[in-house]
Amino acid sequence: MPEIPDLEAIRHYLVPRLAGLTVTETEAPIPWLVRTGAADLETLHGHGFGEIHRLGKFLVFFVDDGRLLVVNPMLTGRFHWVEQKEKRASRTGVVLAFDDGHELRYSDQRRMGRFYLVAGDRLDEVPQIAKLGPDAMAIEEGEFLARIRRHPGQIKSTLMKQEFMAGIGNAYSDEILWETGLHPHRRRSTMSEDDLRRLYRSMRDTITWASEIVDGTVQTEGLGRKEEWRQHLRVHRRAGEPCPRCGEAVKGQVRSGIESNYCVRCQPLFESSGAGKAQ
């Protein structure tokens, strides 16, 4: 699932490449991905895009006529910036062709993504956006502490709740909790204020660190060369490998179809570890 580092890298890659270009053709091979109506894409012909913003796990493309193209990639949505002659990826669902010979393609193996074309003042009409909490990279520490105290349950589940705070999913919740030294199934109600302040700082540090790596990779390799960028992660999908901090084998545990990866030594369940920042 694309999370903040992935979406920021996509945004940084596309903004300069779309500047000054005009949409010449549109296509929706998987029409139900365009929730406001696949025919609406044709109204983009002759228009271009300006800014691209990220809102949680959504990308918001600003059309030059004041409208917004809002994309939620969900679990398996992927963007491809390629020349028109290149072969399409499997399950390509939306295609925007531009007057320089490139296409912005969107593929989705599970066909769960969502596109909305709305008026500039109607963003809140996009499902889920009105319920989003503050973005994880915009929330201040005081607000973070106040909001998280309303959620006494397991800390990983809380970090992934988009109503609590937007932008973090399965991969980076694992990384943030490893950085903090907190077990993913530990209840927030058992944590001290110091635990929560460390969690906030680790969240900021982890996302900043990962964003720089992913951004550099995408700028070098382009969009569409890889399904996702996870090679730099320390514990997520590293079950059985040594923990980068202590050498203990990373554990993988699946609950409700979601795998959590963590170190049982660095992230004990019943007490605050006080683990230091990874080197």
pLDDT of residue 199: 98
Say whether both 44 and 89 belong to one domain.
Answer: yes
For the beta carbon of residue 19, count every other beta carbon within 10 angstroms: 11
pLDDT tens-digit series, residues 33-44: 999 988 899 999
- Show the CA angle centred on residue 67, arms to residues 169 and 24, nearest 5°: 100
Q: Which residue has the higher pLDDT, 27 or 224?
A: 27
Say whether both 164 and 246 belong to one domain.
Answer: yes
Say whether both 17 and 72 belong to one domain.
Answer: yes
Is 277 part of a structural domain of the chain?
no
| Band of residue 276 on the pLDDT scale cut at 50, 70, 90 | very low
Say whether both 179 and 234 belong to one domain.
Answer: yes
pLDDT tens-digit series, residues 104-138: 999 999 999 999 999 999 999 999 999 999 999 99
Question: Which two three-digit tokens encode residue 133?
Answer: 């909490």
Contact between 117 and 68 under an 8 Å Cβ cutoff? The reply is yes
Say if residue 63's pLDDT is above 80: yes
Say whether both 90 and 40 belong to one domain.
Answer: yes
Tokens 């012909």 appear where? Answer: 45
* Cα 32 to Cα 29: distance, rounded to the nearest angstrom: 9
- Which range among 6-10, 140-144, 174-178, 252-256 shows the weakest confidence by mean pLDDT? 252-256
- Which range among 36-40, 95-99, 115-119, 180-184 shows the weakest confidence by mean pLDDT? 36-40
Domain of 180, in residue numbers: 141-262
pLDDT of residue 278: 34
Question: Stretch 230-242: mean pLDDT, rounded?
Answer: 96
Question: Stretch 80-99: mean pLDDT, rounded?
Answer: 96
pLDDT tens-digit series, residues 69-82: 999 999 899 999 99
* Cα 173 to Cα 80: distance, rounded to the nearest angstrom: 26
Say whether both 9 and 119 belong to one domain.
Answer: yes
CATH (domain of 165)? 1.10.8.50
Say whether both 256 and 159 belong to one domain.
Answer: yes
Cα dihedral 200/245/75/221 (nearest 10): 110
Q: Measured in whole angstroms, how far is the alpha carbon of residue 109 from the centre of its chain?
A: 17
Is 147 part of a structural domain of the chain?
yes
Is 98 part of a structural domain of the chain?
yes
* Cα 77 to Cα 2: distance, rounded to the nearest angstrom: 8
pLDDT tens-digit series, residues 1-12: 799 999 999 999
Say if residue 53's pLDDT is above 70: yes
CATH (domain of 47)? 3.20.190.10
Is 271 part of a structural domain of the chain?
no
pLDDT of residue 218: 95
* Cα 237 to Cα 260: distance, rounded to the nearest angstrom: 8
Total structural domains within the chain: 2
Say if residue 242's pLDDT is above 90: yes
Is 216 part of a structural domain of the chain?
yes
Residue type, 64: D
Say whether both 117 and 13 belong to one domain.
Answer: yes
Is 274 part of a structural domain of the chain?
no
Say whether both 117 and 145 belong to one domain.
Answer: no
Burial of 84 (C-beta count, 10 Å sphere; 0-12/13-18/19+)? middle
The residue count of the chain comes to 279
**Domain final position from 89, 106, 130:** 130
Question: Stretch 260-267: mean pLDDT, rounded?
Answer: 97
Is 251 part of a structural domain of the chain?
yes
Name the nearest CA neighbour of 266 among 253, 254, 275: 275
| Band of residue 271 on the pLDDT scale cut at 50, 70, 90 | low
Question: Stretch 26-51: mean pLDDT, rounded?
Answer: 95
Say whether both 124 and 147 belong to one domain.
Answer: no
Say whether both 167 and 253 belong to one domain.
Answer: yes
Say if residue 279's pLDDT is above 50: no
Q: By percentage, how much of the chain surpasses pLDDT 90?
A: 89
Beta strand pairing call for 251-255 and 258-262: antiparallel
Say whether both 11 and 96 belong to one domain.
Answer: yes
Is 136 part of a structural domain of the chain?
no
pLDDT of residue 255: 84
Say if residue 272's pLDDT is above 50: no
**DSSP annotation string for 23-56:** EEEEE-SSGGGBTT-GGGGGGGTT--EEEEEEET
